[in-house]
Structure 1
Amino acid sequence: MDSESPDSLPVAPGSEAEDGQASHRPSKVLLVTGMLGAGKTTALRALEDLGWEPVDNFPVRLLPRLVSTAPGPGHSSQSLQGSDGSEPLAIGFDSRTRGFDPYSVISEVRALAETGEIDFTTLFLDCGAEELERRYNETRRRHPMAGDWPAAAGIAAERELVAPLRRWADIVVETTHYSTNDLGRTIRELFAPSAPQGMTVTVSSFGFSRGMPPMADLVFDMRFLDNPHWVDSLRPLTGRDQPVADHIAKDAAWQENFARIRDLVMGLLPLYEAQGKSYLHIAFGCTGGKHRSVFSAEALATELRKAGHNPGLLHRNLDSHASDLVEGGARVNAR
């Protein structure tokens, strides 16, 4: 630990040292540490997605000043906020951090916790030596503590150095057999058990004649269905109108194929969520983007709601003027 005391740092206007009041203190502080290469960066990114304010490679000697500083603009987590509205902090540090001394870290945190104003939790990320060595070899990075020796020597020295933190930590996560997605899912399960964790699902319609949506994850081409555009009374209507819906539903190809699409999507949703996907865009296309794709998107959104999801619904070309040129002019090679 650096010999410099936090008390020797300059006093900022409005700080606790100046006015004697603990203002803007976050009620939650999570210390994230562990073996180098065990997944600290991945964990901090997952925490940021959950509403924590991450600070990486932070000198723990400055911890008293950090936790008494108001969060920056734009932080407004509602599920994790402290009683004063402050953002919960996730502070990452490891053996590379300046002035790193495990015993001083423990002493510093215990002193702050005794005030009763901050809820500290320590997460230690561990990983087997062979897996860590494999990761270093894979990335071709040198272990900071290895010097001219193999990575295994640096890993062994580091493990001995951080052992007090591992024994002291509230939570130890072993990442030897974890993928990045596995670790992200574990972090979500540990630190956001009551926060909304579902994906943001969007269902949309579009016209192929105006280009495909560039960011869609799943695209279904509905041009195999009978086209209401070629029915004069239906042409000015959209897939939201009942006459168009009845026309499409009477197509023998509709029922069976939509059921397959619905079942495929329902089966994929939990798999995407398990991989930590935050957004899923399901798009339906037809020629002009007004009839078949709109009806299909509306139908899937209804099925998703019945299953307990809350999808967003977008119709990209619904208000576009679907001229005969867009739909193909005269009915030659109609579909």
Structure 2
Amino acid sequence: MDDNDIDQTDSFPAWVPDAEAEANIPEPETPELIIITGMSGAGKSRTAAVLEDLDWYVVDNLPPSLLRALTGLISPSTTTRKVAVVADVRGREFFKELVATLDEMRDGGIAHRVLFLECDDAELVRRYENVRRPHPLQDEGRLLDAVHAEREMVADLRKRADSIIDTSNMSVHDLARSVRQLVAAEGELKTRVTVMSFGFKYGLPMDADHVADVRFINNPYWIGELRNLTGHDRPVQDYVMEQDGVTKFVDGYTDLMAGILEGYERQLKPNVTIAIGCTGGRHRSVAIAERLAKGLRDRGARVVTVHRDLGKE
């Protein structure tokens, strides 16, 4: 049984990694293997989704006997550097092999970490009752008996865990934040920003989170020597930026968006698109988009620029 529905419950004091956990955050280029395990309904599926958003390769409910084979994915000769495996009691008889497999991996020098998701009995019962789904070990018995049986099964594994996250009082957002803080390099925690120029004559970008209209700026198109240039060219940039109020507008908008991006990062928003539009998407929007992107980069943001309509007539 998949515990996706359980993991999406909105009522999992927010967990903060201790100093030891922070010290164990690996370098971005270091090959990594994480075993995600723990109590059913404690948040394993949500944890796997967070890792996928951080570009990890995630395998759900893999039999422990196949773990060794999976380690080939993160050898120096492959491009995959981050692999996570969800292993829990859904595997039934296979799950009993997990502790022995982990011992074999350590004895064989295969580096890995075990992330254990914990939750108290009362909260687990509440989550299962809310989604009206049976526990993997419940069969025809009581839900609480199944929870107790699982806790006994995972006791040894919990003792071997490198990190334990108790989700009893967490929301799904608290859990996501905790996982990201535990495994992500600093740069991966930042929201990825796309600054896009576009022409209103070709329509609004469907994926824009914020739109700024710069058609209040005089159009370089009507200047003969600038018409065939673009916002990438210095003469166009100078013409645009030297107009009254334009520098003040761009600097103010940069400050505004920098503050918004800080809020997005706190809310774990992975991507945001800022669209800058003029009439045709060739002169003013391109120049302003490049200036905005530079200002946000100077403030530490991860920014790429896209000029959607630059090649259009």
Check conservation: 1:207, 1:285, Cα contact below 8 A. yes
Report how far residue 207 of structure 1 moved. Answer: 0.5
Question: Which has more radius of gyration?
Answer: 1
Q: Provide the rounded CA distance (Å) in 2 between the counterparts of 1:282 and 1:57.
A: 39
Check conservation: 2:197, 2:281, Cα contact below 8 A. yes
Show the counterpart of 1:98: 92
Q: Provide the rounded CA distance (Å) in 2 between the counterparts of 1:27 and 1:36.
A: 28
- 5+ long unaligned stretches in structure 2: 1-29
Q: Secondary structure at the match of 1:166?
A: helix
* Alignment-mate amino acid for residue 117 of structure 2: L
Q: Which has the higher helix share?
A: 2
TM-score of the two chains, using structure 1 as the length reference: 0.72
TM-score of the two chains, using structure 2 as the length reference: 0.76
User: How high is the sequence identity, in percent, across the aligned residues?
Assistant: 39
Aligned 1:1-335 pairs, distance under 5 A: 28-64=32-68, 66-67=69-70, 70-71=72-73, 81-83=74-76, 85=78, 87-100=81-94, 102=96, 104-115=97-108, 117-148=109-140, 151-193=143-185, 196-231=188-223, 234-321=226-313
Check conservation: 2:35, 2:85, Cα contact below 8 A. yes
Report how far residue 91 of structure 1 moved. Answer: 2.0
Show the counterpart of 2:16: none
* Alignment-mate amino acid for residue 107 of structure 2: E
Report how far residue 206 of structure 1 moved. Answer: 0.4
Q: Secondary structure at the match of 1:123?
A: strand
* Alignment-mate amino acid for residue 111 of structure 1: E
Q: Secondary structure at the match of 1:266?
A: helix
Q: Secondary structure at the match of 1:31?
A: strand
Q: Secondary structure at the match of 1:224?
A: coil
* Alignment-mate amino acid for residue 278 of structure 2: C
Check conservation: 1:206, 1:285, Cα contact below 8 A. yes
Query: What RMSD, in angstroms, separates the aligned Cα atoms of the two structures?
Result: 3.1
* Alignment-mate amino acid for residue 216 of structure 2: F
Show the counterpart of 1:77: none
Report how far residue 131 of structure 1 moved. Answer: 3.2
Q: Provide the rounded CA distance (Å) in 2 between the counterparts of 1:172 and 1:300.
A: 42
The CA deviation string for residues 234-256 of structure 1, in whole angstroms up to 9 with x for no partner, is 44443344454444445444344
Q: Secondary structure at the match of 1:133?
A: helix
**Which fold has the larger relative contact order, with Cα–Cα distance below 8 Å and residues 6 or more apart in sequence?**
2
Distance 1:229-1:88 versus aligned 2 partners, 3 A rule: closer
- 5+ long unaligned stretches in structure 1: 1-25, 72-80, 322-335
Check conservation: 1:223, 1:286, Cα contact below 8 A. yes
Q: Provide the rounded CA distance (Å) in 2 between the counterparts of 1:52 and 1:318.
A: 34
Report how far residue 124 of structure 1 moved. Answer: 0.6
Q: Secondary structure at the match of 1:96?
A: helix
Distance 1:88-1:257 versus aligned 2 partners, 3 A rule: closer
Q: Provide the rounded CA distance (Å) in 1 between the counterparts of 2:252 and 2:129.
A: 45
Q: Secondary structure at the match of 1:135?
A: helix
